[in-house]
Amino acid sequence: MRLAFFGDVVGRAGRAAISEHLPRLKSQLQLDFVIVNGENAAGGFGITPSTAQDIFDAGADCITLGNHSWDQSEALTYIDREPRLLRPYNYPQSLSIPGRGSQLFTTASDQRVFVIQIHGSAFMEPLDDPLQGVARALEEAPLGQVADAIIVEMHAEATAEKYVMGHFCDGRVTAVIGAHTHVPTADGHILVGGTAFQSDAGMCGDYDSVIGMKKDPIVRRAATRLPTERKSPAEGPATVCGVLIGSDDRTGLARSIEPIRVGGRLPETLPKMD
């Protein structure tokens, strides 16, 4: 299978770039399944039904969220109606949290893709233990038995914690891809057990910014310690950043992982087709 994950869509610029580039990428790269993180899609904070629909219309099969899941109140009810929208799996089980943190999808060619969204613990709002959360989720759809491919999105600040998750899942999932820090890392590789890994896929947003937000107020506040206006998304041309994972149809493990970057300010990088 050919699976793609695209990092955090930030504001209108990120949505416009996804709408412009994803349909072509889906065809050009012959993608079987597409995951897009949309937790910053609505004005940089959270998601709404209309901003999610923009991403689905562009070709996403699944939208993941993260620590900004509930910044828009509409998401609290929308997520129960939309099974393609996932929030972190490891919310405390004792709480009644809307939505779901994992979902088994069926592709157009009848292959089964299991997506798990997990929230990190280091420098983040604490939820339940992410490793135990993933272990529970994997019991729902083991690779090679229920699922033909499994993608884990590790939504976390700390690179080390993302690596811990990668090694914890190695050999049991197709890929562990990091999100949240909005910067594409250069460490995409296949772990020893056959799981593809990258610390962060990067954002789909304007890189003439501070991780997608207008740079001047943030720089001014850092330099003067004085309050400035509320953070808002940068509005220049956005770069679509993600990764392409090639999986082995026999084992479900990864055969390749390659970066995807198109549009905006970052140099373009596209996987070569055979």
Query: Domain residues of the chain, as ranges?
Result: 2-204+237-262
Span 72-110, pLDDT tens digits: 999 999 999 999 999 999 999 888 999 999 999 999 999
Q: How confident is the model at residue 35 (pLDDT cuts 50, 70, 90)?
A: very high
Residue 215 in 3-state DSSP? helix
On whether the CB atoms of residues 150 and 143 are closer than 8 A, the answer is yes
Phi–psi pair at 137, nearest 5 degrees = -60, -40
Mean pLDDT of 36-61: 97
Span 202-219, pLDDT tens digits: 999 999 999 999 999 999
Phi–psi pair at 103, nearest 5 degrees = -160, 140
Pick the catalytic residue from 68, 119, 155, 182: 68
pLDDT score at 183: 97
| CATH architecture, domain 2-204+237-262 | 4-Layer Sandwich (3.60)
d(Cα 78, Cα 190) in Å, to the nearest integer?
36
Span 178-201, pLDDT tens digits: 999 999 999 999 999 999 999 999
Average pLDDT along the chain: 96
Mean pLDDT of 5-31: 98
pLDDT score at 274: 63
pLDDT score at 215: 96
Q: Which residues, in sequence order, are CB contacts of 24 under 8 Å at separation 6+?
A: none
On whether the CB atoms of residues 165 and 174 are closer than 8 A, the answer is no
pLDDT above 80 (res 256): yes
pLDDT score at 40: 97
**Residue the block writes with tokens 């690179």:** 159
Catalytic residue list contains 68: yes
d(Cα 182, Cα 167) in Å, to the nearest integer?
22
pLDDT score at 109: 96
